[in-house]
Structure 1
């Protein structure tokens, strides 16, 4: 399989030049505050397209690709949270997305959203954190989880066989069937060509990114909602034995509750029927409700 080595034209959105690197951003809707989606590891901005378009009925909505992902230019992975948040701040300025904004961060993207708020508090009006990574997840995890994770991260990923690629393409085509026709094929192909991205982006998550979040100032007291996904997730179920997955979810729920409580008026919501990886597709109603609730608290459109 040939990796993506250059940027080509995205099916939606456009490429903006930020510090000499071209980055993909797509925006819809009008009004403010704008809502900006920060993808999870290995996901692209257009993976959130269906929810994005519903948010765009309320206000300006933005999806984008971090450098090294999707249709943005390649870059060595993993990266620091500082690099990612500097890049996003520059991109939003280049695209003329008015500030302050509501950041919707998913998983790794939620860690970046929090760090963005720590570093650029005046640019953030609210936070929606979808099953977020937390810097204390690993230190507070069971020893067996820590040992298994260390073993996983010490191994390189083998090249998939042609049959595996064929099966994966079929699964991607089925998954993206609900996307617009002009998007689903290119999006599936992009994922297939970038299958290492999720693993690469997360390699420094528990040391470098976690350390950056711990050392930065507190997240500003903006309206914040944290949503925990506690339902079945096929990827998680394949990685972890059932007894460990239950412990992981119990620990995650406790950390998410603490995270919400760390912000004045922060709210923690539980979803027992959505998994980690595609929470925005399995429960788009819950995500849209949370966005609307934040907008009302901020004083924006309902």
Structure 2
């Protein structure tokens, strides 16, 4: 494992998993990163939520400062690893799981497999196996045509690397300097990891969740990023773009309605990948509300 700029390593199954912890109190909040992202990219939420309760995040095996593991993985493997990490870290549940993007998918699988360990759920712009049912047929067809051939993606040019370094440095400008620098360089070195993690999402992982059963009856908040998908915006006329985002809104409302205590919230001024960076306030508000409902 490369030197971690912060946090500690928890050993699980012969592998070391990077683990970050702050705050004190129950129930603990567990932040599950999106694909290609790592625990340190949620440092602002970790710090903010630490005023409310114990809060932790981590790097899944094969990502960040954790030991390598073959990617992609099943959602069950990721969920089981997380349960083992939390146990090895001496952090008993039940937990409020806050998953972002594919992290929400893994949080949902955790809740299916270990419902007694879940006190509440926060899904931050989540994916779902029913997404194609909510999108206009034209968008489904466009997405299929635009899928890249992942194995043929070229390496980033020096110019692209420098542009990405500058953009990431701006994005994480408020992070402590040592964390920011390590995080930016890590992202530039491992930019293919998110692609590798998500390669089995649409077939294997979504099928796994569809067959996994209902969520437990716990408080759930679903956050939806209101900003337009830039790839869609470059490829669709405005009317179709609106219909596509209406479909995402309807999907997220459906996820929230799948449990008795579910709620959906729209987050203005936020994009899918960086909602937690651009608008940490609504994320912390949702965690505060979930904690209050669980404690009540």
TM-score, length of structure 2 as denominator length:
0.94
User: What do the CA deviations read for 1:161-189 (whole angstroms, capped 9, x no partner)?
Assistant: 11111211111122111101120000000
Q: In structure 2, the residue corresponding to 1:274 is in which secondary structure?
A: coil
Matches of 2:165 and 2:237 in 1, distance apart? 27
Q: Does 1:194 align with 2:190?
A: yes
Matches of 1:148 and 1:43 in 2, distance apart? 26
Q: Does 1:90 align with 2:95?
A: no
Structure 1's 236 and 278: CA in aligned 2 closer, same or farther, altered over 3 A?
A: farther
CA RMSD of aligned residues (A): 1.8
Matches of 2:235 and 2:264 in 1, distance apart? 26
Matches of 2:235 and 2:280 in 1, distance apart? 25
Q: Partner residue of 1:59?
A: 53
Q: Partner residue of 2:9?
A: 15
On the 8 A contact 2:134/2:248 being kept in 1, the answer is no
Matches of 2:132 and 2:161 in 1, distance apart? 32
Which 10-residue stretch deviates more, 66-75 or 144-153? Answer: 144-153
Structure 1's 276 and 201: CA in aligned 2 closer, same or farther, altered over 3 A?
A: same
Q: Partner residue of 1:268?
A: 264
Question: Deviation at 1:240?
Answer: 6.3
Q: Partner residue of 1:177?
A: 173
Q: 1:228-247 residue pairs with structure 2 within 5 A?
A: 228-232=224-228, 234=230, 237=233, 242-247=238-243
Q: In structure 1, the residue corresponding to 2:161 is in which secondary structure?
A: helix
Q: Which consecutive segments of 4 or more residues in structure 1 shift more than 2 A?
A: 138-154, 232-248
User: What do the CA deviations read for 1:237-291 (whole angstroms, capped 9, x no partner)?
Assistant: 4676655543332111101111111111211111232111111122211111110
Q: In structure 2, the residue corresponding to 1:138 is in which secondary structure?
A: helix
- Which residues of structure 2 form unaligned runs of 5+? none
Equivalent pairs counted in the alignment come to 294
TM-score, length of structure 1 as denominator length:
0.92
On the 8 A contact 2:135/2:248 being kept in 1, the answer is no
Question: Deviation at 1:70?
Answer: 0.9
Which 10-residue stretch deviates more, 135-144 or 177-186? Answer: 135-144
Q: In structure 1, the residue corresponding to 2:132 is in which secondary structure?
A: coil
Q: 2:283 aligns with which of 273, 287, 292?
A: 287
Q: Partner residue of 1:158?
A: 154
Q: 1:251-266 residue pairs with structure 2 within 5 A?
A: 251-266=247-262
Q: Does 1:125 align with 2:119?
A: yes
